[in-house]
Structure 1
């Protein structure tokens, strides 16, 4: 009996490892050539979709993922690579509002308020890219986040018929972002589970045109 349990555990671990490796390979391969770190080489799109994250870490320190995404968005806008910004993030409570916080910092950095649109229901990457297509009516978009996140978002966007490229915000050193990088492998497996289960965003709502 013990041998059977051991074999079952090993089988589950083996299948999990295969799923991790295969999911990562498929997403990396699909996104190859679709993300950019150079502003001059980034194709122009009407809208840039910045994916939300918290401004502060749990301990209260500034979140470099946040500040680097804001900086990347401002850089793209000032280089005329995007005309409008769609900020998509979590607005789960009155005490936590990623889109509004990002909007304030984008305005402070020089992006006009009328060029910024907010998606308060971007609870997950899937929600953000699906809603960009369905709610905001986008056919193409430049996704703004760190490269590993852009790759996953681009794959999801394509599955919904949204033509997406990514502009890579500056990443942080591996040792500092090890937890996030590790979690990303499992997030990529979940992409395929969500697609298989036809998971939809938590909310859709009325359409909003960006113009």
Structure 2
């Protein structure tokens, strides 16, 4: 009897968690509908593109396709005159790991002038990147550059924090190859609502920086 009771409670908790994941995912998807773009001919122009950071390589040392595709998307937007500047926001957690600097080097290699690239070294989380884009870099409108699932979450956070955002979808990878990231995204979306409920702030703010 005790075992059956434990199993019943476990099942109820599992169903509750599944429902929470589903609701959070649906709310963010619905909110971002019509605000992310894959076709360049459809996306409106913005002064600044916010390129969300990620590691250049995965743990086994192979290239990270999410990184490669985000760089390519940012370069395409700039060269097609859909953005005038690129704000790279990522983790700068140690002297051995610096997403913004690494991304800037690859953007320059791809033909983006260095003076058109601004770096946010305190983009430790998507929330930090989005809020700092508004509060530190003074943006009112922005084109977020990442994969669609990430753009949707970032757009939701941005709008709730007073930053008008659209997203340009970098190429994604297959569900099979990106299964771990996709699963993690569901829990990240739940965290969005917790952060908003508890009024979570970025880890750092700092001096104002004007992009021009």
**Bin for the TM-score computed over the shorter chain:** over 0.9
Classify the secondary structure of the residue corresponding to 2:149. Answer: helix
State the alpha-carbon separation in 2 of the partners of residues 6 and 174 from structure 1: 31
Structure 1 unpaired stretches of 5+ = none
- Deviation string 1:101-158 (CA, Å, 9 cap, x unpaired) is 0000001111110010000000010110011011111000000000000000000000
Query: Per-residue CA shift, 1:26-62, capped at 9, x if unaligned?
Result: 0000000000001111100000000000000100000
| Residue number in structure 2 paired with 1:30 | 31
Q: Where in structure 2 are there 5+ consecutive unaligned residues?
A: none
Give, in angstroms, the shift of residue 8 of structure 1.
Answer: 2.9
Give the Å deviation of 1:7.
Answer: 3.5
> Partners of 2:196 and 2:9 in 1: how far apart?
27
Length-normalised TM-score, structure 2: 0.97
Shift of 1:6: 3.4
Matches within 5 A, 1:11-30: 11-30=12-31
In the alignment, which residue of structure 2 is the partner of 1:188?
A: 189
SS in 2 for 1:168: strand
Using the alignment, how far apart are the partners of 1:156 and 1:10 within structure 2? Answer: 32
1:134 pairs with 2:135: yes
Q: Distance in 2 between matches of 1:199 and 1:72?
A: 30
Task: Report 1:49-88 matches (<5 A).
Answer: 49-88=50-89
Secondary structure class of the residue paired with 1:40:
coil
Give the equivalent residue in structure 1 for 2:180. 179
Match of 2:168, SS state, is strand
Structure 1 residue runs of 4+, over 6 Å off?
none
Considering only aligned residues, what root-mean-square deviation do their CA atoms show, in Å?
1.0
Per the normalisation by structure 1, the TM-score is: 0.98
The size of the alignment, in residue pairs, is: 211
